[in-house]
Amino acid sequence: MEKLTVQTLSEMQQRLKSEFEASKKTYLLICGGTGCHATGSIKVKDALAGELEAKGLNEKVQIVETGCNGFCAMGPLMVVHPDGIFYQKMKVDDIEEIVTSHLINKKPVERLLYKDPVTKKFIPRHDEIPFFAHQMPRVLRNKGVIDPESISDYIARDGYSAAAKALFDMGPEDIVAEVKTSGIRGRGGAGFPTGMKWDFTRASKGDTKYVLCNADEGDPGAFMDRSILEADPHAVLEGMIIAAKAINSKKGYIYARTEYPLAISRLQIAITAAKEMGLLGENILGSGFDFDVEIYQGAGAFVCGEETALMRSIEGQRGMPRPRPPFPAHKGLWEKPTILNNVETLANIPQIIINGGAWYASVGTETSKGTKVFALSGDINNIGLVEVPMGTTLRSIVYDIGGGIPNKRKFKGVQLGGPSGGCVPEHLLDTPVDYEAIAKVGAIMGSGGAIVMDDRTCMVDMARFFMDFIQDESCGKCTPCREGTRRLLEILEKICDGKGVPEDIDLMLELSEMIKDSALCGLGQTGPNPVLSSLRYFRDEFDAHINEKRCPAKRCAALLKFEVDPDLCKKCGMCFKACPADAITWQKKEVAVIDKEKCIKCMTCFEKCKFDAIF
């Protein structure tokens, strides 16, 4: 393949845009992210290809397998371009009807369109669905639009124009100045100003410097970085090239967990294509600048999301944090000056360079600029990937975009920042998405995981769950984290088992402060956050567990005795059919009865009963 120059890159972009504008084809944009793959999109795509061939439509209709579309709850899904029609939850059996009715007879299949849960009306167009309409896609501007395995698709969307601008029209100081003007802060957790980090590394002395991309996303419920890599890998590569020019680096690494096979596969395809076209490697675009990128696969240790542990892992050592200073800007990978940014941060950089830092800073709050990507999951109708301007309230994310809580349940809280974050309760839902505002209410922005919980969630048990994760993922290097988190977990388990005592509350508070003040790295320093935020906003639940031996959310099995309310029981027998221990007696048109001796407290009957008759 002929290597591109800055001139031929521009010519290629113009040609591709003209060809697309002149095309009269219909494009079927099928989501090819991990979520849709799991729900059968590959079979749907194959069936669609077969049906188009059978109907002789191959010349007029083209299938494009995109990356993650974002609306994960509705997969397998597809957007028909240029109509903008959005199809959801497709099955192989639906394909013939879609092709015949929509593509041939121009009549969309209504039953497969999005149906508003409130108005009960069908919303055919993709951009009119509330989930999408309330978002501002910047980082995600290419999601669900391009084939992530096609470098031509990326170039047609002005791909690598920012890299060309940085390489030919800007010096390292200019690049850093533009990033500083943008006000972008690291999207991986701490929110450190990106431009400042780059400036420190640029000023560090040394002929060898490194650019690292942290794709070791390990928070429960987080899938932001994975989805970006699956949908738009070239944006991350372009961001790394610009970062490399800013600090004069010749080598970069993308540290991705091996549990992300699709993201890694598409990244490798993107790297190979970029090298073949002269966009990576030696003499990029004829600029005389050399920069290469390599993927390093991590084994899935959560602590390797910490920058110094990540670097030790790449070096072939055990992934354990080291004290700072010295900071990576001075002594990082192999003791050389290094910048490390996460996937979302780097994917923002091309847009900042091509449009200007002031353009980026025009969105957001005074201290938190731009947009933020969240992985919305848990007890919420619209599970998926969302991007909103900084300053958007949590209430808007949960209700306007997320569609609220399913099954008419009540909202209880949203966990932000993963296991190291905190839970924001209902009365603080109007908190804006802003680094300082989120920290003020006891949570952290983190990388963007947002787990929504309804009124059936036990906050004591939730704190136990997150502390179990933190304790399990502790590298064990420092005593406060290794032993302190284990002790916190033991206390929480004791409380969930109905064996807690009032003194446990003060002990957990004391332990938490000690761990925060003395742990070596961010994992330990933020590890007690779930305990502290739960105690701050849901102290009554801890008191009920300890003083009354009662779980208000009816989740802690050791504190429960299961009975059937005869006034609420609909005599449907669902609990009887679901019970794995044969502990329920039921006959048609009779109220079910639970044998407490046989009951194993597995919660199955409680979960299956739609009428809240199990108490």
| Helices and strands, counts by H and E, the chain | 25, 17
pLDDT of residue 119: 83
To the nearest 10 degrees (0 to 180), the angle between helices 343-355 and 224-231 is: 50
Token readout for 381 is 């109708």
User: Tell me, what amino acid is at 454?
Assistant: D
pLDDT of residue 113: 97
Total number of residues shown for the chain: 615
Residue with tokens 């300890």: 546
Residue with tokens 């007690």: 528
Whether the CB-CB separation of 87 and 98 falls below 8 Å is answered with yes
Q: Ramachandran region of residue 407, left (φ > 0), alpha (ψ -120 to 50) or beta?
A: left
Whether the CB-CB separation of 532 and 557 falls below 8 Å is answered with no
Domains of the chain: 20-129 (3.40.30.10), 151-361 (3.40.50.11540), 371-454 (3.10.20.600), 459-547 (1.20.1440.230), 560-615 (3.30.70.20)
Q: How far apart are CA 20 and CA 583, in angstroms?
A: 64
| Residue 300 neighbours by CB under 8 Å, 6+ apart | 218, 257, 258, 259
Positions in the chain whose pLDDT score sits under 50: none
Q: How far apart are CA 82 and CA 26, in angstroms?
A: 7
pLDDT of residue 264: 97
The residue among 225, 216, 194 whose CA lies nearest residue 314 is 216
pLDDT of residue 97: 97
Whether the CB-CB separation of 528 and 512 falls below 8 Å is answered with yes
Q: How far apart are CA 331 and CA 329, in angstroms?
A: 6
- Mode of pairing for the β-strands spanning 411-416 and 61-66: unpaired
Token readout for 30 is 């099928």
Q: How far apart are CA 194 and CA 188, in angstroms?
A: 11
User: Tell me, what amino acid is at 83?
Assistant: D
What helix, strand, coil percent values describe the chain, rounded to 5? 45, 15, 40
Residue with tokens 């179990």: 468
pLDDT of residue 447: 82
pLDDT of residue 607: 83
pLDDT of residue 600: 84
Q: How far apart are CA 185 and CA 199, in angstroms?
A: 13
Q: What H or E segment, with its residue span, contains residue 454?
A: strand 449-454
pLDDT of residue 1: 67
Q: How far apart are CA 392 and CA 371, in angstroms?
A: 9
DSSP sequence for 381-440 = SS-EEEEEETT-BHHIIIIIIT---GGGPPEEEEEESGGGSEEEEGGGTT-BS-HHHHHH
Whether the CB-CB separation of 270 and 233 falls below 8 Å is answered with yes
- Mode of pairing for the β-strands spanning 251-257 and 292-298: parallel
Neighbour-count burial of 384, counting CB atoms closer than 10 A to its CB (0-12 exposed, 13-18 middle, 19+ buried)? buried
Whether the CB-CB separation of 528 and 515 falls below 8 Å is answered with yes
Sheet holding 422-425, edge to edge: 384-389, 371-378, 449-454, 411-416, 422-425
DSSP sequence for 188-229 = TSS--BHHHHHHHHHHS--S--EEEEEE---STT--HHHHHH
Q: How far apart are CA 368 and CA 350, in angstroms?
A: 19
Quote the radius of gyration of the chain (alpha carbons, Å): 26
pLDDT of residue 180: 98
Whether the CB-CB separation of 368 and 444 falls below 8 Å is answered with no
pLDDT of residue 606: 84
The residue among 539, 425, 530, 439 whose CA lies nearest residue 488 is 530
Strands (E), 42-95: 61-66, 78-81, 85-87
The residue among 341, 321, 352, 177 whose CA lies nearest residue 249 is 341
Q: Could you give the angle at the alpha carbon of 327 between the alpha carbons of 325 and 331, nearest 5°?
A: 110
Residues 360-396: tens digit of each pLDDT: 999 999 999 999 999 999 999 999 999 999 999 999 9
Q: Could you give the angle at the alpha carbon of 128 between the alpha carbons of 124 and 133, nearest 5°?
A: 145
CA distances, 123 to each of 31, 167, 226, 352 (Å): 19, 45, 29, 34
To the nearest 10 degrees (0 to 180), the angle between helices 529-537 and 459-473 is: 170
To the nearest 10 degrees (0 to 180), the angle between helices 503-518 and 539-547 is: 130
DSSP letter, residue 87: E
Whether the CB-CB separation of 447 and 441 falls below 8 Å is answered with no
